[in-house]
């Protein structure tokens, strides 16, 4: 046997070694990227997980009619704005002994969130029958108490270095021993808008702002993008003009998103006077940004549809439009939808253009339509990351988790749609 066909021969051994080496380079690369991903996700989840819980304090509230609604008007607006502080203070001093001085009373009151009385007001306005009765109510604890309960404040460091003093901790211990302080699922995070107080802040406003923006973006970019792609691919003659358009679409796809924000600012806000900081303008700007992506993706899908399908339809006497919309577009639709959803996923994570059109304001109210002022999830993350309060650290991570969950959801949607439409051939 000639030795050069043996794997032990010098030349073959060298070749095998090289092959092995390249395999290992590839594995290393994959390993490193996965390690980065795992690191990133676990860091975010590790930091954010605690934000899904919120400390609450249970108090037996005596809904005294004389204090809440002395005029017996039962007007919900009055009930909401009534003075609940004395009632809450009374309940607190029933639980915690020895708080008689005004300073102590104010201090112990601070264990609760400033939002606690609002919650009480909402509750009474909703069911005024509760007036005159007594009931155990779970109230929001302040952010400092929350952090302490989550073990994020070390009671052993010098008292001057923390905002939660030894006295506060003593009171917390009393509440704890009575089972009146507990971490519960943080519903506020999913049911409120932004707030200056971490414990009262939620992402619902931002999520809905994002939803409306994406809705506008989809309604504009999807039909425009697909019709453009279909026209350029199926109808337009190849000439100087279409080449020019093609080059420009490719250029647009590469334009940094902040430029689209500037465009939105100068055209939609300053020229057309559309309402500032709204999902309407945000959606339009995002649609400009996603349009080139959708067009490029759709065109490449259309190009991949075999000519034989078009020939088959044309040969039967179908018109160009029938051929396109009965056969080519349905076949391309899953791919075009996937391209669109991926483009929208990118738009969902976009911050810069929204900053330019003012969707960066501090907005407490939850937007009810596309013309209400709103912010968006990534901008909310940006705002919270920028806040000095310690309680926002975990909430920032929680918001990132929610954003990532939405992105994964959208990608799953893309996969599902593609599977479903493919099965129908």
Per-residue string for binding with another protein, 228-267, x by CB under 8 A? ---------xx-----------------------------
In three state form, how does the secondary structure of 124-181 look? HHHCHHHCCCEEEEEEEECHHHHHHHCCCCCCCCCHHHCCCCHHHHHHHHHHHHCCCE
Q: Is 388 in the site for another protein (CB under 8 A)?
A: no
Q: Which residue among 219, 309, 408, 409 contacts another protein (CB under 8 A)? A: 309
Q: Given the complex with another protein, which of 256 and 306 has the nearer CB atom?
A: 306
| Helix, coil or strand: residue 97 | coil
Least distance to another protein from the beta carbon of 279, Å?
39
Stretch that binds another protein, among 49-57, 254-262, 325-333, 378-386 (CB under 8 A): 325-333
The only residue of 105, 162, 183, 327 in contact with another protein, by rule CB under 8 A: 327
Which stretch, 96-104, 288-296, 314-322, 392-400, contacts another protein (CB under 8 A)? 314-322
- CA 130/CA 137 separation, integer angstroms: 12
| Residue 37 makes contact with another protein by CB under 8 A | no
The Cα–Cα gap between 386 and 375 comes to: 15
- What CA–CA distance (Å, rounded) separates 358 from 276? 6
User: Which of 161, 316, 386, 388 contacts another protein by CB under 8 A?
Assistant: 316
Residues 6+ apart with CB under 8 A from 194: 201, 202, 205, 206, 362, 363, 364, 375, 380, 383
Residue 196 CB coordination number (10 Å): 12
- Contacts of 34 by beta carbon, 8 Å cutoff, 6+ apart: none
Distance in angstroms (rounded) separating the CA atoms of residues 250 and 43: 36
Number of amino acids touching another protein (CB under 8 A): 20
Which residue, 191 or 304, has its beta carbon nearer to another protein? 304
Residue 11 within binding range of another protein, rule CB under 8 A: no
User: Is 304 an interacting residue with respect to another protein (CB under 8 A)?
Assistant: no
Give contact residues for another protein (rule: CB under 8 A).
Answer: 237-238, 306, 308-319, 322, 326-327, 331, 425
């Amino acid at each position: 046997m000639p030795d050069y066909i043996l794997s032990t021969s010098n030349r073959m051994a060298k070749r095998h070694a090289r092959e092995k080496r390249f395999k290992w380079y590839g594995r290393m690369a994959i390993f490193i990227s996965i390690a980065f991903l795992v690191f990133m996700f676990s860091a975010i989840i590790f930091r954010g997980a605690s934000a899904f819980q919120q400390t609450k304090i249970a108090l037996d509230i005596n809904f005294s009619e004389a204090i809440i609604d002395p005029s017996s008007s039962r007007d919900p607006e009055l009930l909401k704005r009534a003075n609940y502080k004395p009632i809450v203070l009374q309940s607190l001093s029933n639980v915690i002994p020895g708080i008689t001085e005004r300073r102590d009373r104010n201090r112990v009151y601070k264990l609760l969130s400033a939002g606690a009385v609002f919650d009480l007001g909402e509750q009474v306005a909703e069911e005024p029958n509760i007036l005159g009765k007594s009931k155990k109510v779970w109230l929001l604890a302040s952010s400092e108490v929350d952090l302490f309960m989550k073990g994020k404040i070390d009671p052993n460091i010098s008292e001057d270095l923390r905002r939660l003093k030894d006295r506060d901790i003593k009171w917390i211990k009393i509440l704890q021993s009575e089972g009146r302080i507990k971490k519960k699922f943080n519903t506020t995070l999913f049911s409120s808008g932004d707030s200056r107080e971490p414990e009262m802040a939620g992402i619902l406003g931002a999520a809905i702002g994002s939803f409306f923006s994406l809705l506008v973006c989809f309604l504009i970019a999807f039909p425009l993008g697909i019709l453009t792609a279909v026209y350029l691919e199926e109808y337009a003659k190849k000439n100087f003009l279409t080449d020019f358009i093609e080059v420009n679409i490719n250029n647009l796809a590469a334009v940094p998103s902040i430029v689209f924000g500037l465009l939105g600012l100068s055209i939609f806000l300053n020229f057309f006077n559309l309402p500032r900081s709204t999902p309407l303008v945000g959606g339009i700007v995002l649609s400009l940004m996603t349009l080139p992506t959708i067009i490029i993706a759709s065109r490449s899908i259309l190009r991949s549809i075999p000519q034989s399908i078009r020939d088959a339809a044309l040969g039967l006497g179908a018109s160009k439009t029938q051929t396109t919309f009965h056969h080519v577009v349905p076949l391309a639709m899953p791919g075009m939808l996937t391209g669109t959803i991926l483009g929208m996923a990118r738009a969902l994570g976009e911050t810069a253009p929204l900053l330019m059109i003012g969707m960066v304001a501090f907005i407490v109210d939850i937007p009810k339509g596309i013309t209400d002022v709103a912010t968006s999830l990534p901008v909310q993350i940006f705002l919270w990351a920028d806040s000095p309060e310690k309680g926002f650290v975990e909430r920032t991570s929680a918001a990132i988790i929610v954003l990532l969950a939405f992105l994964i959801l959208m990608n799953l949607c893309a996969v599902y749609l593609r599977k479903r439409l493919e099965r129908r051939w």
